[in-house]
Every structure is written in structure tokens, then in C-alpha cells.
Homo-oligomer: A and B are copies of this chain.
């Protein structure tokens, strides 16, 4: 243990830092999450019981449930950074770029060009129905934050219905394109719909043809 904190006992009134206790709590929490990810990747989600995870982290199952509300939550422990990245993709987008285009680029970047470590995680989630649902639920929870960012950008009321709709639809895209043969094309088409609407859809029939794109 590294003692890098200020002594609380000898200096009352000083900045009350984290405390040994909370550090230990965070440590066991991390041990649980790490053990869970490792075991799930090794043997598959359904072939690992919460008892296994708890024993691998050297705690009891009761303690595990004090840290995580359920088995699925063991895998989705750090999604706050995802939310801030999502908001930043809108609020700090390059000048001249529309909001749907910024979201499209963000989705393309994070889902298609994922680094291999994260890709293994995505593959595990994709192949487990229970985790697919949980992943989507966690993902959609960012709707409110994203809708706020969009509304602020567009100068609309904070709870504007159109902004909420755009946020929800954009967040739904990863789930929508899951399992399609050409995910990149599917993502681009979905955001094209959000950008210009069904009304402006190219009506040229036939696959492979190059219909005029209003970008």
C-alpha cells in the first residue's frame, strides 16, 4: 500500500482526502470487475457463475452483490467516460459539421475502429443475448445527457422533444446495425436518414447503383 495521503489524525481541518477505507472498497470492486471480465472472456458468460467470480476475487457472493446490483453489471463498470466522449463529439465537433454528421463520425470511430482489447469485449457482448440487452440499456441511459448537449447546441429548450428523438435514434444505431453484412454502410444510411429525412431519400432503384447523395 502506498501512503500518499495526508494524515487525518494529526491535522484536523485539513483536506479530508479519500481515506483508507474507500480505497480498499474501490480495490475489491476493481478486483471483482477484473476477475469477471477475465473469466467471462475465458469461459463465456453463461458458463461462469457469480460464485466463481466472487471466489476468484476472494470475497463472498454477498459482498459481490454489495458492490454490483447484478451479474450483468459486473461488465459495465466504466461508462462515464463513454458519455463524456459522446457529449464532446457534439459540443466540440469541427466547424461546419452538422450534429448528425458528428454523431455518425463518433459511432464509426468507436464501433468500427475499436482497439483489439475493446473489440474482444464487444464480441463477447454481441454473442450473449443477456449482455446485448444490458449493453443497450446502459448505452441508452446516456440519452438525457446527449439530448441536453444537442439542445444546448441548437438553442432549444433543455427537454426539447426533437432533440430527445435525435439522441435516442442516434444511440439506437449501434444496436440497429448489429449483424448486418456491411455495418459501415448501414451506419451511414441511418444517419443520412436522420440528417435529411425519409422525404429526401434517393428513390433510384437497384442495388449497387450510385444515386445522388445530398450530403
Give me the interface of A with B, judged by CB distance under 8 Å: 98-100, 133, 137, 151-152, 154-158, 161-162, 164-166, 168-169, 172-173, 176-177, 180, 182, 185-186, 189-190, 192-201, 203, 205, 207, 210-215
Contact = CB atoms under 8 A, between A and B. Distances in A.
Contacts of A152: 214-215
B197 A162 contact: no
A155 B213 contact: yes
Contact of A203 (B155, B173, B189, B198): B155
Nearest to A202: B162
20 contacts: A98-B198, A151-B214, A155-B203, A155-B205, A155-B212, A156-B212, A157-B210, A157-B212, A161-B180, A161-B189, A162-B189, A162-B193, A162-B198, A165-B173, A165-B189, A172-B172, A194-B198, A195-B199, A196-B197, A196-B199
A214 B215 CA distance: 29
A155 B98 CA distance: 29
Top-6 shortest CB links A-B: A197-B197, A161-B189, A165-B190, A196-B197, A161-B186, A162-B189
A155 B194 contact: no
A169 B197 contact: no
Contacts of A196: 196-197, 199-200
Nearest to A183: B161
Given A99-B198, A154-B201, A165-B190, 6 more contacts: A161-B185, A162-B190, A169-B169, A169-B172, A169-B193, A197-B199
